[in-house]
Amino acid sequence: MSLARLARRHFVRAAVIAATTLAAAPAFAQSTWPDRPVRLVVPVGAGGAADTLARNLSNGFQQFANGQPLIVENRPGGGGTLAAAAVAREKPDGYTLFLAEVGANAVAHVLQAKLPYDPHTAFTPIVHAANLPSVVVMKPTLPYKNLAEFAADARKQPGKFNYASAGIGNWTHLFMAYLSNQAGIEMVNVVYRSGAEMLTSVIRGDADVAPITVSTALSHIKEGRVRSLAGFGSKPMAQLPDTEPASKALPGFDVLLWHGIVAPAGMDPALTARINGVFNQVLQSDSVRNAINVAQAAEAVGGSAAQFDALIKLELKRWPDVAKAAGMKPE
């Protein structure tokens, strides 16, 4: 046997092995994923609603995932785009997941000139994990009882009222820009560093209104330190039965502060389905459901990967227009 033939035989054998391994890989992956710890990259710092959500998911993950843990890795920065860009560069092997939200996944590409990834194509959507109900709160010294009253007065005095937000392009900014746009009012945006700072500024009376998650604001609303003017979602909220949805004053208004799991683009559909299945089990387990729905005053969602994909696609249509209408430019 000549050396060349030997080499060729080796090559052929290697190729056959490689081919069969590749073909078998998806089936292998879906039955055994995960066989090592899974990383969930969270685009915000530790503490706060999105981080708590990630930790709640991580808490219930192990029992449905071959005993493997879900490790929460906080990578704050760049309005969430730092973490998103890092995840987009990873392999879609199911071991690096990302906690997606409106900023990095639906609007960052119109706010940042040199975004290293394209939210339309960089990720494989996996599951819509939860919505964090959020409300517009107002300082209690203002006389308005609901959004319609407030909007009516604000329309007459453009620029008189200010709202607190947590940064340009942050959901707090986008939601208020959208609300102002829909209500035809003009307000001054005052930027703070966190939801906690925003809330204090409303309590103190420096800010007139602010968008805040129900879990952060609930006790302050109940104690009367701030008044909840309207809910951003169109559904009534169990924790705040007296708060009307914004759609009462602005028909059709419905925005969700959604969070979900995505993976790098190009994931094998069988693996996507397997991960989706695990997270649906996690979301349906009593302890996680309770932690999210009751303790966090949020709404666990779940559902198929296709549903989440559709939601992100809708959001990718809505927010860039809102951002442009509000005069936000790429930096």
Q: Which is nearer to another protein, 2 or 219 (CB)?
A: 219
Could you tell me the CA-to-CA distances from 207 to 178, 186, 188 in Å, in that order? 18, 15, 10
Q: Taking Cα atoms as reference points, which of 325, 304, 324, 312 lies closest to residue 103? A: 312
Provide, rounded to whole angstroms, the least separation between the CB of residue 101 and another protein: 17
Based on CB atoms, which residue is closest to another protein, 61 or 308? Answer: 61
Shortest distance, position 80 Cβ to another protein, whole Å = 11
CB of 273 to another protein, least distance (A): 28
Residues that bind another protein in the complex, under the rule CB under 8 A? 45-48, 51-52, 55-56, 58-59, 72-78, 81-82, 85, 111, 114, 116, 159-160, 162, 167-169, 188-194, 196-197, 199-201, 203-204, 206-207, 215, 218-220, 223, 290-291, 294-296, 328, 331
Q: Give me the least distance between CB of 193 and another protein, in Å please.
A: 8
Question: 72 near 56, Cβ under 8 Å?
Answer: no
Shortest Å distance, C-beta 232 to another protein: 20
Q: How far is the CB of 200 from another protein (least distance, A)?
A: 6
Cβ proximity to another protein: between 99 and 271 the closer is 99
If the CB atoms of residues 74 and 105 are measured against another protein, the closer one turns out to be: 74
Give pairs for 108-112: CB < 8 Å, separation 24+: 108/79, 108/80, 108/81, 108/84, 108/169, 109/320, 110/319, 110/320, 110/323, 110/324, 110/328, 110/330, 111/79, 111/168, 111/169, 111/323, 111/328, 111/330, 111/331, 112/78, 112/79, 112/81, 112/330, 112/331
Q: Of 168 and 270, which CB lies nearer to another protein in the complex structure?
A: 168
Nearer to another protein, 181 or 194 (CB): 194
Smallest gap, in angstroms, from Cβ of residue 82 to another protein? 5
> 190 or 310, CB closer to another protein?
190
Angstrom distance (rounded) from CA 25 to CA 268: 10
Rounded Cα–Cα distance for residues 200 and 99 (Å): 27
Kindly list the distances between the CA atom of residue 291 and the CA atoms of 46, 260, 286, in Å, as whole numbers in the listed order: 17, 16, 8
- Whether 321 contacts 112, CB under 8 Å: no
Query: What is the closest distance, in whole angstroms, from the C-beta atom of residue 55 to another protein in the complex?
Result: 7
- Toward another protein, which CB reaches closer, 117 or 253? 117
Distance of CA 130 to the CA centre of its chain: 8
- Quote the least distance from Cβ 2 to another protein, whole Å: 50
The beta strands (E) that lie in 115-245 are given as 123-131, 134-138, 162-165, 188-191, 209-213, 227-231
Phi, psi of 96 (to 5 degrees): -125, 115
Please identify, using beta-carbon distances, which residue of 76 and 140 lies nearer to another protein.
Answer: 76
The letter for the amino acid at 269 is: P
Instruction: Identify the H or E element spanning 99.
Output: strand 96-100
- How far apart CA 212 and CA 181 sit, in angstroms, is 19
